[in-house]
Amino acid sequence: MIVTRFAPSPTGYLHIGGARTALFNWLLARKSGGRFLLRIEDTDLKRNTPTATQQVLADLRWLGIDWDEGPEVGGPNGPYFQSQRLEIYQHYVLKLIEEKKAYYCFDTPEEIERLRREAEAKKQVFLYPRPAHFPEPEEARKAQAQGRPVTVRLAVTETEPIVVQDLLRGDVVFNPAEIGDFVILKSDGFPTYHLAVVVDDELMGVTHVIRGQEHLMNTPNHLLLQRALGFRTPAYLHMSVTVSESGGKLSKRERPEALRKAIQEKKGVDLDALAKAAGLSRQELDLFLAGEKMPDVPAIDAMAAFLGVHLPEINVVDFLKSGYLPETMVNFLALLGWSPAGRQEIMDRQELIEAFDLSRLNKSNSLFDRKKLLAFNTEHIKRVPLKTLVRHFRVFLEATGSPVAAADDAMLEHLIRINEGARTLAQIEEKCRFAFIPDEAVVYDPEAVKKVLQKEGAADILRTIAQRLEQLKEFTAESLEVMLRNLAEETQVGLGKVAQPLRVAITGTTISPPIFDAVNLLGLERTRKRIERAIQLFSHA
């Protein structure tokens, strides 16, 4: 049976690259009827954040990527947090030391750094100088008592070429002479990634490891460790990397950097107000602008909102908040580095599982194209069942704190219906928000006022509409349509000349759902009030 896993380190929100890795492992497990497990690689005390695991779990759930074993679902191979498996790693480290396959080291970071520099100066690869005699456990205890850092390194004694058999790339050959004795146990008693991943994959019965190309160079180390420990070697597949428009792999730094650029390019930004909006001190903001400090995600979001700039989405939640559907994300991510046998591109999870096949993966890096993502989202909004869409819409509204969240499900369904052709949930929200704010809170877009409301005759048309609204027997989208069409015909103008002033009067902008639906949504009373307010504010007659 095929067993795959996703093993994120909880350093923040799940980003799009991680989601893609998780997805491919999940697809392989689901396609083959195997198991998919989730393991949290929290062995770096400095980088982990306390809430990150919850964020990652929530993001995976939103995407519809479920796990058979792991946090919150349990399983026979737990615990699934590496920080809770310290004795297990300890056991194997001790075993390797006893067998003289690994040894204690007492170097300080400065000493290591010096050796590294020397090697660099000589244009040589840095290889840790293995001592002729390995220190005894006794010496390790002594060194520790004296306050020296104690680490353990694997003795790399292999002389034959190390061959990584990659499912995608074929045999990749490495020269063992270029692999130095690497650290497997850190001075804080935590295992390094190499040790933890090898031990856990063995103990958890992982058969297939799909990961990013950035791990290809680590794989010979893992092979070495597996041999030293007498473990099996899982099948490896190193996927291509997703790169960003700015070149280089897509990283979390993208958003802060885009924000910094936006702040620097914008003239006359009130930095004190900006810092306040982000909950930062002025000093922290200055450090950020100098490129020396990265504020956290909420602060970044707050600053972007304050400036009204749109930052590129990187984390899974960013896409949620921009109004993308999880179906879109899963579909689009699957197509980055993989393609189905047929012509069909738009697929739901089930269709992806059915079509998935490792042999159709491709090796080259790909660029994340947001325009194509938008097109995919438009398609999925059309395809996803209405009930599901309502659920997604609710999640979106709550995540963004929209006033539209006050609506019940029936209303949300209606809002979706009258916004046929929308590209994102955010667009639906933007178009409908006008009906969920107080009449006095309508902000009139100056551009729209100038172009529509202050045009010749606009005020007259609004007055006429207000009058006819009074005379309307029943107030529905249909009766409104009849009324407005008649009015357009009588006054010998296009429907646009009637609809546009009305649209701006009730929404403050030129963008809304179809005008009949928009008025119907707002209701008779509030429509009248807003028309009056608009006439008052903008007719200079």
Partner RNA sequence: GGCCCCAUCGUCUAGGCAGGUCUAGGACACCGGGUUUUCAACCCGGCAACAGGGGUUCGAAUCCCCUUGGGGCUACCA
**Are the CB atoms for 378 and 423 separated by under 8 Å?**
yes
Give Cα 173 distance to the centre of its chain.
Answer: 34
Closer residue to RNA in complex, CB, 62/174: 174
Tell me the one-letter amino acid at 478: E
For residue 241 the two structure tokens come to: 């990397």
Our CB check for RNA shows the closer of 208 and 503 to be 503
Three-state DSSP at 154 gives strand
CB atoms under 10 Å from CB of 351, counted, come to 14
Distance (Å, whole) CA 196 – CA 81: 11
Torsion-angle region of 248 (φ positive above 0: left; ψ -120 to 50: alpha; else: beta): left
Task: Output 169 or 455, the one with its CB closest to RNA.
Answer: 169
Query: What secondary structure letter does DSSP report for 126?
Result: -
What is the closest distance, in whole angstroms, from the C-beta atom of residue 498 to RNA in the complex? 8
- Smallest distance from RNA to CB 193, Å: 3
φ/ψ of residue 209, rounded to 5: -115, 110
Residue 266 falls in the annotated catalytic set: no
Minimum CB separation of residue 383 from RNA in Å reads 11
**Residue environment code for 74-107, b if the CB has 16+ CB neighbours within 10 A, otherwise e:** ebebbebbbbebeebbeebbeebbeeebbbbbbb
DSSP conformation letters of 358-406? GGGB--S-EE--HHHHHHHHHHHHHHS-HHHHHHHHHHHHHHHT-GGGG
Taking the complex as a whole, how short is the minimal distance between the CB of residue 454 and RNA, in angstroms? 17
Cβ proximity to RNA, 216 vs 505, nearer residue: 216
Q: Output 243 or 353, the one with its CB closest to RNA.
A: 243
CB 179, min distance to RNA, A: 9
For residue 372, what are the CA distances in angstroms to 24, 329, 339?
A: 20, 11, 15
Kindly tell me which of 275 and 384 has the beta carbon lying closer to RNA.
Answer: 384
Provide the residue type at 402 as one letter: S
Q: How far is the CB of 421 from RNA (least distance, A)?
A: 3
d(CA 130, CA 142): 20
Minimum distance from CB of 420 to RNA (Å)? 6
Q: How far apart are the first and last CA of the chain?
A: 80
Whether the CB-CB separation of 507 and 496 falls below 8 Å is answered with no
The answer to whether residues 385 and 404 touch, using CB atoms and an 8 Å cutoff, is no
Q: Amino acid identity, residue 541?
A: A
Q: Prior bond to 446 cis, omega within 30?
A: no
- By the 10 Å C-beta count (0-12 exposed, 13-18 middle, 19+ buried), 246 is classed as exposed
Q: How far from chain centre, in Å, is Cα 120? A: 37
Nearer to RNA, 459 or 487 (CB): 487
Residue from 252, 293, 451, 529 carrying the catalytic annotation: 252
Least separation in angstroms between CB 10 and RNA: 9
Residue 473 Cα distances to 198, 203, 429, 469, angstroms: 75, 74, 30, 9
Residue 506 CB-density burial (10 A; 0-12 exposed, 13-18 middle, 19+ buried): buried
C-alpha–C-alpha distance, residues 137 and 96, integer Å? 12
SS3 category, 6: strand
Nearest distance in Å: CB 323, RNA:
12
Q: Which residue reads 């100088």 in tokens?
A: 129
CB of 283 to RNA, least distance (A): 26
Do 214 and 140 touch, CB atoms closer than 8 A?
A: no
Residues with catalytic function: 252
